[in-house]
Structure 1
């Protein structure tokens, strides 16, 4: 633990180093968080020490801890993570909380990644069904495994699609955490991101808004009257994405903060249709 903290602190900071050292030791030994917390003084069993050293060596190469451990926590569940997926972030839980704040029957998650959003929503709402799309076949395989892991595979179908391509039907909830990092911002991201996570899941290039334009363009055909659309956004994108939603005909367009008070989600509602007399 001390050795891992000392090695990692100059790279990722003391607080993160302490947290990651605990997680790696628990993974190497099979100890629970409580066991890790009270351990100290005794020598590690040789096999566990070797496993812990190997994990630390991988982390020092800036491999993300989630990929090293093989899964990561999100909304109280564990999700498999690979180099074909982004690691689920706590900020995205804001989107899930907002989605769960109103009833829904049928949801589509555009660009699903690990499936964390879609799987969580269906696990929390046992009567709902959904569709999860992604451009990457390898990524969809990870999401399918996570759906099975959490018992929602029978209610969630998967589609290899570029946004709305091949999508049929209407949904009363549309959600997405699309690539939104600008081309300029991408170059400044941490090596754990640029060296290990799929570039296409992070940035569409340019101004970072291409995915929102594509999503907004399909809402008229696929969002049911009274249905909601919620998307995660990056820093400084709230006003632009809200304008795209308004131009697509959505009402009650709003920008919502995350747990740190930063604008994180844009939402809007499709107006109810009124037939002429």
Structure 2
């Protein structure tokens, strides 16, 4: 019977042949996720046999991974802000850099007991809304997405995390159906210029929904819509925290300022040092 160590070696070789950047790391991640193991289990019990059904399943997953399908798509799950989220074809895979928006929001509202009213526009899997509700136990939140499939998945994730009583998910175009009154609006909008889509990594281009990626000719279409909507959505003194694409800070800041929002210092950088979370305030 094949052992965990033998499968690991086989997957490392397959991934290396496919030109993957870190084949051993990828192989370990696939085995851990596919078998439900902790890191220590995989290391300390490498000689444990893998049953034939599990081996066949894992080899099929490895073949799809070698062909460029992201691990999160293979498993249908992704961790964000230490929360386990289910994914759907209509949802973007949450990225670690998006956690920068949560960090920025926490810095704006140090009182975790505040009864905030939160809005997540383009909620996708519900990652941002779920993270914020988990940090602010007295807050209420609304998520909006144009995709029905994404909205369903966000609602399911919020329910699984025990957040249904403090949240609602709507299908709509940004904030058009809402009356406002929010203390904090967050959004990770589509910001990739349309002409750049074909050059994206295959994992993104072929497996993330185009609706969540394509920001129009300059990558700014969503920001223009958000800049127009935010003044009526926020309470006086309320904040908006938006994710930025690389090199978009000045352009987005200009759009927000043109609609009367005050930019709060330079954008917060992610772990790679990229300006990622821009903060604006309604006066």
- TM-score, length basis structure 2: 0.91
Superposed structure 1 runs of 4+ greater than 4 Å apart: none
Asked if the contact 2:256–2:263 (Cα under 8 Å) also holds between the matched residues in 1, the reply is no
2:247 to 211, 230, 236: 236
**Within-5 A mapping of 1:135-150:** 135-150=146-161
Asked if the contact 1:182–1:203 (Cα under 8 Å) also holds between the matched residues in 2, the reply is yes
Change beyond 3 A, Cα 1:12–1:84: farther
Q: Deviations over 1:188-232 (max 9, x none)?
A: 111111111100101132101000010010122111111110100
CA–CA distance in 2 between the matches of 1:141 and 1:20? 30
- Structure 1 runs not aligned, ≥5 long: 272-277
- Structure 2 runs not aligned, ≥5 long: 1-7
CA–CA distance in 1 between the matches of 2:144 and 2:180? 14
CA RMSD across the alignment = 1.5
2:67 to 54, 61, 64: 61
Asked if the contact 1:204–1:211 (Cα under 8 Å) also holds between the matched residues in 2, the reply is yes
2:11 alignment counterpart: 4
SS in 2 for 1:13: coil
1:71 alignment counterpart: 77
Deviation of 1:53 (Å): 0.5
Change beyond 3 A, Cα 1:42–1:222: closer
Does residue 257 (structure 1) correspond to residue 269 (structure 2)? The answer is yes
Deviation of 1:34 (Å): 1.8
Aligned residues: 270
- TM-score, length basis structure 1: 0.93
1:268 alignment counterpart: 280
Does residue 97 (structure 1) correspond to residue 103 (structure 2)? The answer is yes
Asked if the contact 1:242–1:253 (Cα under 8 Å) also holds between the matched residues in 2, the reply is no
2:173 alignment counterpart: 162
